[in-house]
């Protein structure tokens, strides 16, 4: 791409790598169109799924309470979960880092003697870079979720946590299929494309010995893993292979089984507007002696990756309530214009702006928190009432504390905190308004790239108020 | 015996102070016209939101402390910006949590009210509309819509005017892209959002766009003026932006009363 020519770039307007990525994403008109169309659809479906505001608010209260209760007692619940899973025959593994989690998966796959694994959709596997780790060890990972499979063929990252290939139109999907399967006749009809993918994937299911999936919720009291999906690939991944590896973050635990239905109601309606997914899988152990199918081994890998640290901070803890519905990004005016790839992280949108700086560190991802106008659309729809704007501000605050260079802000605050000086200053600006208004137009600034600058008035309100007798000490 | 008129403190906001003083003055005059006694404390400056949203809490607190002093009292504090009012109402208690000023911040938060909300709910004026028939597009800031929930009040004030038809644009709930320092930190995304909002507003067919927040209007106006730049001889492509208080004042104050307001061009505001 040709760089944009500019007259002069003062240091403060030199773009960071995030700004460059966002800019590039913004310029991809077809992707923007696809994302915008899909997000509009999801927003409409969610709205239709919650016709009654009162019911919705009651359900959100319930969802928040369930998640808060779990997070407040996280260590206890995790111990209970481990005990009950173990009693059920599920082997529990603890991973502090992505590297540890990858190593655990590799060990299990090697022990099973497999050179390939089936994969159900899992954002945690993206978080730890599992496919790359498997590839490096000579093990093939076959994504079985349709969207994941499409982007795997294209060598891309998910553009959305629920709908990974949402940035592609069906024509673009068909084009990718044609590149990979030149021998096949491929149309652009969605039903045909789906049938084709199903045929190609099903063919391989039967021969795989290990299935890797994510988890939506972990139930401590019963030692169960809940996994919801629409395509049936998740059920195949968890039942066909001899070994099932479930991998997820430690925050996904809830205390009781009866807390699951309200969370599922919130999750599916917030994500896609569905009252329920086609498949709800509740896994409470490997195949029993009396049973004729199911895996012989079930492993649960529980990843920390900074989550315990977030749990220990009363403010940051709120982000761990997240049930990964994606509603915050569907409603985000920034996400809907740049899509997931604009952020360059596994978790995009408002969720990513809060989570990624904690997972990868402020140094690497703290700037994500700047990609928000703090409009609050995310918090308005969050099914578990995560105060996302507050948490985005918190990242900014932590970022500033780390960089500790208030610079101009110190000057600004010292002026604004001294009312008399502030009055004199704004009056002086008003006096110079004609000259300043011309100067502002020519001064290079991020604002003037696309908009005319605001115009200073020739008198301040303070002075007008004085003249009209409103002013008072 | 008539009741004693309600006393209010007026917080003008830093943007209105420097960019649209006529809007602030109009708001104070409307409050007075509707029967309130208005006091504009000289020691006010800015609510501190720019530093707060940028993550500079210490600097924001320094500025906010000065407002706690300036706005001390028991009267309602009327603010002609939902964004600044939201800062006082919802963010001050958080900003000062655990600080010596916490109680004062909470006391102030409880007294702050958005201008439109106060005018419509408390003073409930019954005014005669002196203006010609006009269709206006009303843009609500995210603070008005989500932080304070005061969109109905602005609507009601306008709907009460006989000659005024109010419309809202498509995707009215979406942010206009201003977002304070966001416009400088992410200028491209901000501009893309502003462009979409501006086009949606233009599509309403209205000639004037009103809002209770000057920040949104500054961004929209900047967009339209840039569109207009270089084609002075063509038809006007953008809408005229106006703070809702200024518009209301022009409609309801009779010519005699309006005489006192300095003409707009001497203020140097939008020509």
Pick from B45, B147, B193: CB nearest A333? B193
Check which CATH number belongs to the domain holding B251 and give it. 3.40.50.11810
Which chain B residues contact residue A407 at CB under 8 A?
Answer: none
Residues B148 and B37 in one domain: no
Q: Would the CA dihedral through A337, A340, A344, A348 be positive or negative? A: positive
pLDDT score, position A95: 98
In-domain check, residue B14? yes
The per-residue pLDDT for range B48-83, each reduced to its tens digit, is: 999 999 999 999 999 999 999 999 999 999 999 999
Shared-domain flag, residues A300 and A416: no
Q: Which residues of B touch A426 (CB under 8 A)?
A: 14, 17-18
Measure CB to CB from residue A454 to each of B41, B192, B222 and give the nearest one: B222
Shortest CA distance from B217: residue in chain A: A454
Q: Given A287, A308, A329, which residue is the final one in a domain?
A: A308
Q: Taking residues A244-250, what's their average pLDDT?
A: 98
In a domain, A448, yes or no: yes
Whether residue A391 lies inside any domain: the answer is no
Examine the fold and report which residue of B72, B98, B120 is the final residue of a domain before the chain moves on. B120
Summarised one tens digit per residue, pLDDT across range B170-188 is: 999 999 999 988 999 899 9
- Does residue B142 sit in the same domain as residue B197? yes
Same domain, B156 and B63: no
Tell me, yes or no, whether B181 lies in a domain.
Answer: yes
Whether residue B91 lies inside any domain: the answer is yes
A63 located within any domain: no
pTM over 0.90: yes
Q: Between B214-228 and B187-202, two packed helices, what is the crossing angle to 10 degrees?
A: 80
In a domain, A171, yes or no: yes
pLDDT band (50, 70, 90) for residue B229: confident
Domain C-terminal end among B101, B120, B139: B120
For residue A166, the distance in angstroms to the closest alpha carbon of chain B comes to 20
Domain that holds residue B40: 7-120
Q: Is A436 within the bounds of a domain? A: yes
A427–B contact, CB cutoff 8 A? no
Q: How many structural domains does chain B have?
A: 2
**Residue B107 domain-assigned?**
yes
* A166 assigned to some structural domain: yes
- pLDDT category, B257, cuts 50, 70, 90? low
Q: Across the interface, which of B41, B48, B190 has its CB nearest the CB of A373?
A: B190
Answer whether B62 touches A (CB < 8 Å): yes
Separation between Cα atoms, residue B234 and residue A154, nearest integer Å: 48
Q: Which domain holds residue A429?
A: 408-467
Which CA distances in Å does B81 have to A84, B47, B92, B120, B211?
Answer: 55, 11, 16, 15, 9
> Is there a domain that residue B81 lies in?
yes
Contact list, A333 vs chain B (CB under 8 Å): 174-175, 177, 193
Q: Is B20 on the interface with A (CB under 8 A)?
A: yes
- Tell me the nearest-neighbour CA distance from A332 into chain B, angstroms: 9
Residues A298, A437 within the same domain? no
Decide if A350 is inside a domain. Answer: no
Say if residues A392 and A318 touch (Cβ distance below 8 Å).
Answer: no
Residues B18 and B93 in one domain: yes
| pLDDT score, position B265 | 43
Instruction: Measure A421 CA to nearest chain B CA, in Å.
Output: 10
Q: Do A121 and A235 belong to one domain?
A: yes
Q: Is residue B268 part of a domain?
A: no
Looking at residue A183, which CATH number applies to its domain? 3.40.50.10420
| Any domain includes B207 | yes
**A240 in the same domain as A93:** yes
**Residues B96 and B208 reside in one and the same domain:** no
Report the domain count for chain A: 2
Asked whether residue B116 falls in the same domain as residue B133, the answer is no
With 80 as the cut, is the pLDDT of residue B47 above it?
A: yes
Interface membership of B24 toward A (CB under 8 Å): yes
In a domain, B151, yes or no: yes
Asked whether residue B141 falls in the same domain as residue B247, the answer is yes
Å between A174 CA and nearest CA of chain B: 30
Q: Where are the beta strands (DSSP E) in chain B?
A: 7-10, 37-41, 77-79, 112-114, 134-139, 164-167, 208-211, 240-243
Q: Which of A26, A410, A453 sits opposite B189 (nearest CB)?
A: A26
Please report which helix (H) or strand (E) contains residue B206, including its range: none
Closest to B78 in 3D by CA, of B120, B21, B15, B138: B120
CA distance B267 to A456: 9
Single out the residue in B92, B120, B148 at which a domain terminates: B120
Q: Residue B30 and residue B36: Cα distance in Å, rounded?
A: 9
Which residue in B has a C-alpha nearest to residue A373's C-alpha? B179
Task: Round the average pLDDT of chain B to a whole number and report it.
Answer: 91
Q: Select from A308, A343, A366 the last residue of a domain.
A: A308
């Amino acid at each position: 791409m040709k760089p944009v020519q500019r007259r002069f770039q003062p240091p403060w307007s030199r773009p960071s790598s995030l700004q460059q990525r966002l800019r590039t994403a913004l310029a991809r008109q077809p992707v923007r169109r696809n994302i915008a169309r899909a997000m509009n659809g999801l927003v409409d479906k969610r709205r239709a799924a919650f016709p009654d505001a009162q019911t919705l608010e009651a359900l959100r209260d319930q969802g928040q309470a369930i998640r808060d209760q779990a997070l407040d007692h996280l260590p206890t619940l995790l111990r209970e979960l481990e005990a009950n899973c173990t009693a059920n025959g599920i082997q529990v593994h603890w991973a502090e880092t992505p590297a540890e989690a990858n190593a655990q998966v590799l060990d299990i796959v090697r022990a099973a003697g497999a050179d390939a694994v089936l994969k159900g959709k899992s954002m945690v596997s993206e978080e730890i870079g599992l496919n790359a780790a498997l590839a490096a060890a000579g093990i093939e990972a076959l994504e079985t979720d349709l969207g994941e499979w499409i982007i795997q063929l294209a060598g891309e990252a998910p553009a959305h946590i629920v709908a990974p290939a949402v940035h592609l139109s069906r024509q673009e999907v068909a084009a990718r299929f044609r590149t990979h399967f030149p021998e096949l006749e491929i149309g652009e009809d969605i039903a045909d494309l789906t049938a084709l993918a199903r045929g190609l994937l099903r063919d391989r299911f039967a021969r795989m010995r290990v299935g890797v999936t994510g988890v939506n919720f972990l139930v401590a009291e019963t030692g169960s893993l809940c996994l919801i999906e629409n395509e049936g690939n998740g059920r195949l991944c968890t039942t066909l292979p001899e070994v099932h590896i479930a991998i997820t973050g430690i925050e996904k635990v809830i205390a009781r089984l009866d807390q699951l239905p309200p969370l599922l109601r919130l999750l599916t309606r917030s994500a896609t507007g569905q009252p329920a997914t086609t498949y709800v899988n509740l896994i409470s152990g490997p195949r029993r002696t009396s049973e004729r199918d199911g895996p012989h081994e079930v492993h649960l890998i529980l990843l920390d990756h900074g989550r315990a640290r977030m749990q220990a901070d009363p403010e940051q803890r709120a982000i761990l309530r997240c049930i990964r519905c994606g509603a915050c990004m569907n409603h985000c005016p920034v996400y809907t214009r740049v899509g997931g790839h604009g952020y360059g992280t596994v978790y995009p949108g408002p969720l990513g702006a809060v989570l990624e700086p904690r997972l990868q560190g402020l140094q690497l991802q703290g700037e994500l928190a700047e990609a928000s106008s703090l409009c609050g659309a995310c918090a308005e729809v969050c099914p578990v009432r995560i105060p996302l704007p507050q948490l985005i501000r918190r990242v900014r605050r932590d970022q500033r504390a780390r960089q500790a260079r208030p610079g101009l802000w110190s000057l600004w605050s010292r002026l604004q905190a001294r009312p008399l000086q502030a009055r004199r200053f704004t009056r002086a600006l008003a006096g110079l308004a004609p000259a300043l208004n011309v100067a502002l137009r020519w001064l290079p600034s991020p604002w003037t790239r696309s908009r005319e600058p605001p115009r200073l008035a020739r008198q301040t309100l303070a002075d007008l108020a004085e003249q009209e007798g409103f002013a008072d000490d | 015996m008539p009741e004693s008129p309600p006393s209010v403190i007026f917080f003008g906001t830093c943007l209105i102070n420097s960019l649209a003083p006529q809007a602030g003055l109009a708001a104070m005059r409307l409050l007075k016209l509707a029967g309130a006694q208005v006091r504009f404390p000289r020691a006010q400056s800015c609510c501190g939101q720019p530093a707060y949203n940028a993550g500079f809490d210490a600097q924001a607190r320094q500025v906010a402390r000065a407002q706690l002093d300036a706005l001390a009292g028991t009267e309602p504090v009327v603010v002609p910006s939902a964004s600044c009012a939201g800062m006082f109402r919802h963010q001050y208690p958080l900003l000062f949590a655990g600080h010596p000023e916490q109680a004062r911040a909470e006391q102030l938060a409880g007294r702050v009210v958005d201008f439109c909300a106060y005018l419509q709910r408390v003073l409930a004026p019954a005014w005669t509309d002196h203006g010609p028939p006009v269709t206006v597009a009303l843009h609500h800031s995210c603070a008005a819509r989500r932080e304070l929930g005061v969109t109905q009040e602005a609507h009601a004030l306008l709907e009460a005017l006989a000659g005024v038809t109010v419309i809202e644009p498509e995707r009215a709930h979406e942010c206009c892209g201003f977002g304070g320092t966001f416009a400088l930190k992410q200028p491209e995304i901000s501009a893309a959002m502003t462009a979409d909002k501006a086009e949606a507003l233009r599509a309403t067919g209205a000639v004037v766009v009103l809002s209770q927040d000057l920040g949104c209007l500054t961004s929209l106006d900047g967009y339209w003026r840039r569109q207009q730049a270089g084609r002075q001889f063509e038809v006007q492509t953008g809408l005229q932006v106006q703070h809702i208080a200024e518009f209301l004042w022009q409609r309801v104050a009779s010519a005699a009363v309006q005489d006192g307001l300095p003409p707009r061009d001497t203020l140097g505001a939008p020509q």
